[in-house]
Amino acid sequence: MDERAPVVVVRPAPDVQELPLVYDSPHSGNDFPADMNAAVPVSVLRRNEDAFVDALFGHVTALGAVLVKATFPRTYCDANRSEQDVDPGVLDGDWDLPAAPSEKLIRRGAGVVPVKVHGITDIYDRRLTAKEVKYRLDTCWRPYHRAVETELDRLYESYGGVWHINCHSTRARGNKTDPDGEADRADFILGNWDGTTCSAEFLALVEDFLSARGCSVDVNWPMKGVELVRRYSDPGANRHSLQIELNRKNYMDEARIEKNEHYAVTEALLADMNAVIANYVKSRSQV
């Protein structure tokens, strides 16, 4: 692990009214640790990265929100998985923690320590050891979750409610290992785990805004959210988490991992969307 912190938390400046609103970007990091020892080049690993998503949401602190972002790559450790999403049967050495391998891990190699890129390309030409998987949980997964949970709990205590946007991007189309196959994806995919991680009102606020701006929007398909929206949400107690997936075609050249000609338009659209979200949060909480 290099010396950079695995997670960066950016809070509003002192002269900005704080809101109980937290954004997090778990997949935009690209500091590749020296101990990763992958069999494929960084250019291939970065296909799994939600490149530029932390930058696209960088303005939210000016609205009063907190932004939490990972600096470690998603292929090294995926903070949007349960820490139990491990298959001890494929590790060298004994795994002495609880394990509950998900269908995503078994079918696509996409557990808390991924072993495939996009369900197809093997990341390693060796077996991972139990020791290195534990090390990645200790140095990446736990600090990241501690940061998200701390911010959500702190704001909830102060304001009696908290809203959380879990930020991602998605390929313009998947492959045969994805639930939607090779179909073209919508401009935005919103996920609240089939209605369980945020109120219908909050989901509708974001969906209606994007639709009114001419964007195509899918809800809970082909992604509905994973660990970060599930773990800290409780809509009945006024804790709301919503996953947002941006279609990468609207801001980047996926092959080159460079901003494309649509980047500025998407950044401006997100700024408008996040201002609407901030106003809503202000109206629904004791700010």
Q: Are 179 and 60 in contact (CB under 8 A)?
A: no
Closer residue to Zn ion, CB minimum distance, 168 or 284: 168
Comparing C-alpha atoms, which of 182, 187, 184, 180 is closest to residue 217?
Answer: 187
Considering the complex, what minimum distance in angstroms separates the CB of residue 238 from Zn ion? 26
33 upstream amide cis, omega within 30 of 0: no
Please state the closest distance from residue 137 (CB atom) to Zn ion, in A.
18
Q: Which residues contact 10 (CB under 8 A, 6 or more apart)?
A: 58, 61, 66, 67, 68, 69
> H or E stretch including 139?
none
User: Are the CB atoms for 122 and 108 separated by under 8 Å?
Assistant: no
Of 243 and 285, which has the nearer Cβ to Zn ion? 243
> Please, which residue, 158 or 220, has the CB nearer to Zn ion?
220
Distance in angstroms (rounded) separating the CA atoms of residues 74 and 5:
15
Q: How far is the CB of 216 from Zn ion (least distance, A)?
A: 19
**DSSP label at residue 63:** G
Of 108 and 284, the one with the shorter C-beta distance to Zn ion is 108
Rounded to 10°, the helix 200-212/263-284 angle is 150
**Binding footprint of Zn ion on the chain (CB under 5 A):** 27, 50, 168
Shortest Cβ 183–Zn ion spacing (Å): 19
Residue number, nearest CB to Zn ion: 168
Residue 50 or 54: the one with the smaller Cβ distance to Zn ion is: 50
- Least distance CB 50 / Zn ion (angstroms): 4
